[in-house]
Structure 1
Amino acid sequence: MLTHLNYLPKHVLGLHAVGEITNADYEKALEPLLDEHIKQNGRINFLLVLETDIKDFDAGAWCGNIGIGLKYFTKWNKLAMVTDKEGVREFSHLFKYILPGQYKGYTLEELGEAVKWIAEK
């Protein structure tokens, strides 16, 4: 399930992922938020707090993740991934080679640092 983190500054979009993540989660939760965020800010500063494992993402979710990355390809500014799942953090480091903009990974203990970094203009 994806939950919108509405406590972040207006120029930062954040989601909390927990449990099973499906492609429908991306379509219902993330895409409308991204569209609105881009209308308001022009660029994407995205914080993902991930408290689930890779096995909890169905195949459609991985495809949705890639599709969203490509759909908004020119809009990415900053992406912060926060998770204690080392395998997920290492896998997600691939985004810095695929998407434009800046990318950083953090542990859950470093959430405050991640919020500070992603919120910097």
Structure 2
Amino acid sequence: MLQYINDLPADVLGIHAIGEVTKQDMDTVLLPRLDELAKTNGDIKYLLVLETDISNFSLAAWWSDLVTGLKHFTEWKRIAVVTDQKGVEWFTDMFTHFIPGKAKGFNLGELDEAVRWISANN
């Protein structure tokens, strides 16, 4: 399930992933706000708090995520992924070399730091 994270700056999209994540979650929660943010701001700051194993994302959800990532490729400004999964945190740190913006992984205890980082304007 995907849920919005409130109390973030208007230029940041925050999503909390728990349990099973389906294509319907992507289509009804993530994608509309992501498209709106890109249209409104011209760039995307995305905070994902991942409190579910990545194996809980359906194949269709992964495909939808990939297509969306490519659709907005030039608009990624910052991506922060907060998780207790070291492999995901490491991958996020490496991902910064493949997108025009910056990506950074944080552990769950660093959520406040992740919010400060994703909210920065530089």
TM-score (ref. length: structure 2)? 0.91
Q: Percent identity?
A: 50
Match of 1:100 in 2: 100
Q: Give the conservation status (yes or no) of the 8 Å contact 1:22–1:60.
A: yes
CA offset digits 1:62-85 (Å, max 9, x no partner): 111111110111110000000011
Check the 8 A contact 2:106/2:114 in 1, yes or no: yes
Structure-to-structure mapping, 1:1-121, within 5 angstroms: 1-121=1-121
Gaps of 5+ in 2: none
Amino acid aligned to 1:85: Q
The answer to whether the 8 A contact 1:53-1:88 is kept is no
Aligned length: 121
Gaps of 5+ in 1: none
Q: Does the CA-based 8 Å contact 2:9-2:119 persist in structure 1?
A: yes
Q: Measure, in 1, the Cα distance between the counterparts of 2:100 and 2:17.
A: 23
* Higher alpha-carbon deviation: 93-102 or 16-25: 93-102
Q: Which amino acid in 2 is paired with 1:48?
A: L
